């Protein structure tokens, strides 16, 4: 149950896309926004007037706030940012969290009310401008996706570097730690969407979901959040005198696995328009960048060995790091040139360090080992990276309990009573 309607991309002007999104530390997909609906007509005979008004009020607030935020969600807003990544984003997240328990009453215990209302959302990555479905689980899925995107936007604001008195762009440790928490929260929303919500939709509706909400895209965004969280951890390890090369290599190798899995999840999806193509290019860039970091630290550890073979493998690994680093710079340029246009913030943290160390150390190690060993011994294929289990996991987000005012209505439903008497005034 729950028919689906998609409006083709050339049908109107609901979808607003910026031409330039400014500095990007974290990829934030275009904001899917809900279109207004009135719960009174489909639900007035089934719910109390108070509950219908509460549903209408909360969703209307979301429609208005998301509509205001959508044109600016991905733009650089340094002045508007707060310690937690923007008060407007936090306010919208709070309204979404308030609405979700009330909405979940429609799907509680398999209620038929879930099929009474047509929910309409404007897409960004899909060719269809908007998708409408008579299924409240579609609304729940859209809310979790929106909560994740808002969290990624908060992380992006936190990770835009500020220029200190020394004129070196940097992000404070406090903001970096806060961003990791936000990445895990975003990943938790997406993981919940995949595990708890998608299975509730009939297979036909799942096939007709916009690509923004396809399982592959949701999984890829979840993995991206974890991958960027590990990148921040690696940067903090680089800054720590206590972190060993082994720790840094492990983090870099884990980063490769997150981005490889993200790429695997979206490579066969129809991400062809502006936001979709930019999404694919971002994952490709970060995957190559992660491989540069992993091969660099793998090469340094191999170079600590005392054999000719280990030194030769070290040089091959460092040369691979240098090759991937140059490739990542080209991939970054392609990403930024894709519409909507974007730019990199000033280099800081992990990539600032590696941009200086990879070319320098590769050149130095190749020269030293070339003097010691024959050319054939140091020009072999790069060694395989170690395979480490992934340590960073999404927050264990669970859908909230149904809002208490639903309890009486759900009890009446269990008793076979389908209509609720109007509130007494």
Does residue 345 sit in the same domain as residue 297?
A: yes
Specify if 403 maps to a domain. Answer: no
Give the pLDDT of residue 193.
97
CA distance 71 to 155: 18
Domain range for 139: 19-160+171-193
Specify if 201 maps to a domain. Answer: no
Specify if 146 maps to a domain. Answer: yes
Does residue 246 sit in the same domain as residue 179?
A: no
Q: How many domains are contained in the chain?
A: 2
Give the pLDDT of residue 350.
83
Q: What is the pLDDT of residues 111-157, one digit of tens each?
A: 899 999 999 999 887 778 899 999 999 999 999 999 999 999 999 99
Specify if 400 maps to a domain. Answer: no
CB atoms within 10 A of CB 310: 15
CB atoms within 10 A of CB 164: 10
Specify if 94 maps to a domain. Answer: yes
CA distance 296 to 312: 14
Contact partners, residue 45, CB within 8 Å, separation at least 6: 419, 420
Give the pLDDT of residue 11.
41
Specify if 207 maps to a domain. Answer: no
CB atoms within 10 A of CB 90: 13
Domain with residue 235: its CATH number is 1.25.40.280
Residue with the bigger pLDDT between 92 and 424: it is 92
Mean pLDDT (the chain) is: 85
Does residue 175 sit in the same domain as residue 299?
A: no
Give me the mean pLDDT over the 321-347 stretch.
Answer: 89
> pLDDT confidence of 72, banded at 50, 70, 90?
low
> pLDDT confidence of 23, banded at 50, 70, 90?
confident
In the chain, % of residues over pLDDT 70 = 84
Residue 106 in contact with residue 406, Cβ under 8 Å?
no
Does residue 367 sit in the same domain as residue 293?
A: yes
Give the pLDDT of residue 425.
41
Annotate 36-77 with DSSP letters as a single string.
Answer: P--SHHHHTTTS-HHHHHHHHHHHHHHHHHHHHHGGGTTS--
Does residue 259 sit in the same domain as residue 140?
A: no
Does residue 248 sit in the same domain as residue 181?
A: no
Structure tokens at 66: 């998301």
Specify if 10 maps to a domain. Answer: no
Give me the mean pLDDT over the 321-334 stretch.
Answer: 94
Specify if 78 maps to a domain. Answer: yes
Q: What is the pLDDT of residues 276-300, one digit of tens each?
A: 888 889 999 999 999 999 999 999 9
Does residue 345 sit in the same domain as residue 306?
A: yes
């Amino acid at each position: 149950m729950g028919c689906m309607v998609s409006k083709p991309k050339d049908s109107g002007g609901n979808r607003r896309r910026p031409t330039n999104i400014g500095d990007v530390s974290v990829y934030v997909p275009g904001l899917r926004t809900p279109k207004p609906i009135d719960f009174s007509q489909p639900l007035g005979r089934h719910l109390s007037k108070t509950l219908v008004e509460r549903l209408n009020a909360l969703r209307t607030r979301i429609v208005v706030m998301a509509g205001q935020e959508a044109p600016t969600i991905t733009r650089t807003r340094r002045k508007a940012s707060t310690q937690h990544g923007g008060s407007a984003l936090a306010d919208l997240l709070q309204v979404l969290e308030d609405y979700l328990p009330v909405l979940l009453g429609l799907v509680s215990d398999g209620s038929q009310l879930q099929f009474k209302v047509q929910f309409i959302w404007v897409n960004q990555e899909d060719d269809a401008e908007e998708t409408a479905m008579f299924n409240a689980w579609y609304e729940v899925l859209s809310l979790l996706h929106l909560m994740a995107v808002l969290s990624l936007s908060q992380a992006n604001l936190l990770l835009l570097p500020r220029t200190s008195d020394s004129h070196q762009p940097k992000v404070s440790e406090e903001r970096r730690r806060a961003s990791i928490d936000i990445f895990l929260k975003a990943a938790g929303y997406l993981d919940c969407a995949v595990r708890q919500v998608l299975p509730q939709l009939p297979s036909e509706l799942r096939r007709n979901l916009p690509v923004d909400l396809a399982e592959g895209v949701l999984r890829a965004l979840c993995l991206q959040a974890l991958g960027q969280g590990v990148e921040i951890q690696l940067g903090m390890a680089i800054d720590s005198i206590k972190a060993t090369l082994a720790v840094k290599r492990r983090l870099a190798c884990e980063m490769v696995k997150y981005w490889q899995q993200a790429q695997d999840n979206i490579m066969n999806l129809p991400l062809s328009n502006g936001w979709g193509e930019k999404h694919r290019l971002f994952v490709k860039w970060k995957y190559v960048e992660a491989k540069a970091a992993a091969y660099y630290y793998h090469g340094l550890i191999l170079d600590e060995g005392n054999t000719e073979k280990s030194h030769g493998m070290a040089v091959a690994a460092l040369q691979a790091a240098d090759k991937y680093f140059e490739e990542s710079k080209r991939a970054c340029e392609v990403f930024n040139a894709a519409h909507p246009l974007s730019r990199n913030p000033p280099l800081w943290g992990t990539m600032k360090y590696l941009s200086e160390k990879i070319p320098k150390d590769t050149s130095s190690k190749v020269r030293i080992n070339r003097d010691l060993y024959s050319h054939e011994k140091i020009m072999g294929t790069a060694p395989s990276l170690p395979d480490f289990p992934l340590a960073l996991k999404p927050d264990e987000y669970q859908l909230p309990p149904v809002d208490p005012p639903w309890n009486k209505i759900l009890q009446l439903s269990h008793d076979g009573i389908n209509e609720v008497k109007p509130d007494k005034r």
